[in-house]
A and B are shown apart, each in its own frame.
Chain A
Amino acid sequence: MYSNQILLAEDDTTDATFFQRALNRLDAPPELLWCRSGTEAYEGLCRSSRPENMSLPRLAVLDIKMPGMTGLELLQKLKTDDRFRSLPVIIMSSSDEPQDIARAYDHGANGYLVKPSRFQELRELVSCINSFWIKTNRLRPITV
């Protein structure tokens, strides 16, 4: 059973706010679960994966630069854990350095999003993400 939720791990309030605002413009905005750190996000995911409330978010959007567990570290954890392997993860960063992008995909990211400098662009991106990852696509669950 999948929820209609997006998990956002982002320590920056502004960026989180923009993300929320961009989501709000959608016709049927998914619910945003905002975690202020990688650790908080991981704990939240672990809780929601328990059998009694088996409801993982549809998508995780992780900022790279976060105090404590970074986005990439969390990504690695998720992609090596059978419980979360099928959870799509998009890495979000202000960096457009090719090596940063490559590293994210190496760790198993399903997408990479450069934080745009204009809100309008962010809105467009969020709309795309929503239509691709929430409305249509979904990763095949792996049964062991």
Chain B
Amino acid sequence: MSLSSDPVAQSIREVYPYPVDLENCDVEPLRHIQVVQAHACLLAVEIDSLIVRYVSENTLSFLGKPWEEIIDAHVDTVLSAEVIGQIPLGLGRTGGFDTINPILSMVKISGKQLMRNVIIHRTDDLLLIEVEARDSNLQTAQYQQLLARSISRIQNITDPNILFPDTALIIKQISGYDRVMVYQFDKDYNGEVIAEARNETLESFEGLRYPHTDIPKQARELYLTNRIRLISSAGEVPARIQQSTQLPQAAPLDLTLAGSRGVSPVHLEYLGYMGVNNSLSVAIVLRGKLWGLFALHHYSPRHIDYEVRNVLMFIGEIFSGHLSLQAANRYREQTLTRKLARLAIGEQITKTRDIFAGLTTGNYSLLNMFPGTSGTAVYFEGRMERQGDAPDEADILALAGWIREHAAFQDLYYESDSVSKVFPPFAAYCDSAAGVMMIFLDATHNDWICWFRPGMVQQISWGGKPNKQLVVTDTSRRLGPRQSFARYVQTVEGCSAPWTDGEIDTALALRITVINSLMQRYTEVKEINERLQKAYEDLESFSYTVSHDLRAPLRAINGYAEILEEEYGEELNDDAKTLLGGIQRGVEQMNSFITDILELSRVGSGGLQLKTTAVIPLIQDVLLELNLVYLRSRKIAIHVDEQIPPVVADPRLLRQLYTNLLSNSLKYVLPDAQGELAIRAGAYFDEELQCTVYTVSNTGPEIPVEYRRSIFQMFSRMSSNHESEGTGVGLAIVERIVERHMGKVWVDDTGLGVTFHFYLKSEHITQ
């Protein structure tokens, strides 16, 4: 881009030694622009000799002498003895010339006595002496009053929402400028007009944003040294600085400290397009960094006296202090809120014993922990839960995978305010999830918590008129607020508000809280498991011992009764024989109890010998055995399906399983509607479970729903018919066997009337 076509830029260009445009103005050496603005003239004199070595060409109107007569002359050629007398004072004081600026001076030009402000700065071995006109109407005392009042007004603002607009208004009242804006920089020095006070007829610039290139780095650095910057008249031609020919080497003069320092043509062009004639910027500095600016614009020429500028600079400093206090308060408040949220979440996890519930329910949740969060996601032990406007699960998983790939082992978190730039698949989520912060709950980065932030373009608007925000009407002009806004939008496309250090710290603290809660839970579960395991083992050895030890006395009772019957049967009458029979029946019953309990304890103990086992022969074998017991008196139709696939199981336990199921069916079989008794063993493939389900069915009335679970519990016999045989342990054994094979067993009213279904998932057994 070139400036050559523009008349204003052209005139500046003549005195401006560097080719610049928007692309390179970051390196433009602003302090070496060898011109001064039209509102002042400048001399640079050697400290030792007070000989003038540099002088601006416009001395005639300020000092009444052409520059040619001043260069290489003693400074007393143009400045009064009173002014020169102040120089040693300025050099000697710790505060330097700032303590005496401006020095009031009178100059006689064409017979007229004129008032001048002389402003002196020291730069290396030179004194920079600026001479400006002084406003003769200015009452210093009046300004000091105004200053005092303004300061107390600013300091009385406690509501942060009105701090900026009110301060802008106060400054507008003091300065009389047409427009006063408060600019705030983000971390990349992109700017935003966050408040404004303006004449009613002017268009609002509030909400205006511009890219960091609009105020380049070296300009920002100059603001830290020289907190106020006046651009007096954008239209007037500046004065070139002449250099003494007697200097050994030609070197540009460093104008950092000179308030009248020439203006970059790029910036002048910018102001020119906005129609701004006079601009004054006051730095707002927070903790040594340029936080923002008060930008004052005036649309017609005006002179603003050095004293007034001083007052405004002072207000800027007071405001910076006030802001820093407010910022500290706000930071403390936010830290406190975040800490509170973190603790509440931790408590919620402990209370609910559920990491998901803890993080997503309750008054505080992940979603409201940080401002501007659009959505959150938690991934823990293979399960994901999302909150708010979070991306699709699969996309989040892909992102997590990418992060895991790129994260170092010791990384505790990942954050980005523009994740799509590094992980392109997220470009689709520029609106809702441009920024992401993820904390890892484990070293393998498998479990994590993450927050999403929306893209900024989604949120920003141009002066409250969102429809117009991206319309750039005049393309021939490449500078100006709208163009800046358009360029800004490009800059921040796909970017979210940044994750602040405070937020990252809080997220990491939450990480510790969550991990602690999890550890606590793990420890508890582990303890419970250990106790359970112990109790289980105790129970097994207990039932084994009990069963064996109970058998001996039982055998004794039974044996004695039998011997009594055999050897003395002749001598006993019928009543005695009946009683003896009662003893024996009781013993027999007790015996089957013990056998079953022993069986149950055996199911739980010992390793499984898994084998692919043919089911049909096993069923037939079991039936053969059971037939002897159950089929003596009744006619039961027994059917075994021809297609029953083999199953991987421990053959001994599988046999026990079928023995118990079939004997259960044989025990409880009752005639169906046709008066038939039937038993059937079969199998089917279940699509949902993706495995074969084996069934044993018998005729008879269905088992009421409320008993369908409890019949698998120990000693629960559904039948109230005490004539029924059985101990109530058989089905408990069935369930134990199935569980040991990672399967499930249930009963329903399908098939012949009562059907037991079971499947085994031996492949899931970890031994």
A interface list, Cβ under 8 A from B: 12, 14-15, 18, 21, 94-95, 115-120, 122
Contact = CB atoms under 8 A, between A and B. Distances in A.
A94 B548 CA distance: 7
B607 to A, nearest CB: 13
B551 A117 contact: yes
Contact of A118 (B548, B552, B562): B562
Interface stretch (B47-55, B266-274, B553-561, B669-677): B553-561
B559 A95 contact: no
Contact of A18 (B548, B559, B587, B591): B559
B552 A12 contact: yes
A21 B548 contact: no
A18 B566 CA distance: 13
26 contacts: A14-B552, A14-B555, A14-B556, A14-B559, A14-B560, A15-B552, A15-B555, A18-B555, A18-B559, A18-B563, A21-B563, A94-B548, A94-B552, A95-B548, A115-B551, A115-B555, A116-B555, A117-B551, A117-B558, A118-B558, A118-B559, A118-B562, A119-B558, A119-B559, A119-B563, A122-B559
A18 B562 CA distance: 10
Contacts of B548: 94-95
Given A94-B548, A95-B548, A117 B563 contact: no
Interface in B531-562: 548, 551-552, 554-556, 558-560, 562
Nearest to B562: A119
B556 A120 contact: no
A21 B568 CA distance: 13
Q: Which of B551, B555, B563 has the most CB of A within 10 A?
A: B555
Contacts of B563: 18, 21, 119
Contacts of A14: 552, 555-556, 559-560
Contacts of A21: 563
Contacts of A15: 552, 555
B247 to A, nearest CB: 110
Contacts of A117: 551, 554-555, 558, 587, 591
A34 B497 CA distance: 96
Nearest to A94: B551
Interface residues of B, number: 14
Contacts of B554: 117
Interface in B568-608: 587, 591
Contacts of B555: 14-15, 18, 94, 115-117
Contacts of A122: 559
A47 to B, nearest CB: 30
A101 B327 CA distance: 84
Contacts of A119: 558-559, 562-563, 566
Interface in B9-25: none
A52 B591 CA distance: 49
B754 to A, nearest CB: 32
Given A18-B559, A117-B555, 18 more contacts: A14-B552, A14-B555, A14-B559, A15-B555, A94-B548, A94-B551, A94-B555, A115-B555, A116-B555, A117-B554, A117-B558, A117-B591, A118-B558, A118-B559, A118-B562, A119-B558, A119-B559, A119-B566
B233 to A, nearest CB: 108
A78 to B, nearest CB: 25
Contacts of A115: 551, 555
B763 to A, nearest CB: 27
Contacts of B556: 14
Q: Which of A12, A15, A116, A119 has the most CB of B within 10 A?
A: A119
A32 B143 CA distance: 133
A18 B560 CA distance: 8
Nearest to A116: B555
A9 B517 CA distance: 62
Contacts of B552: 12, 14-15, 94
A120 B562 contact: yes
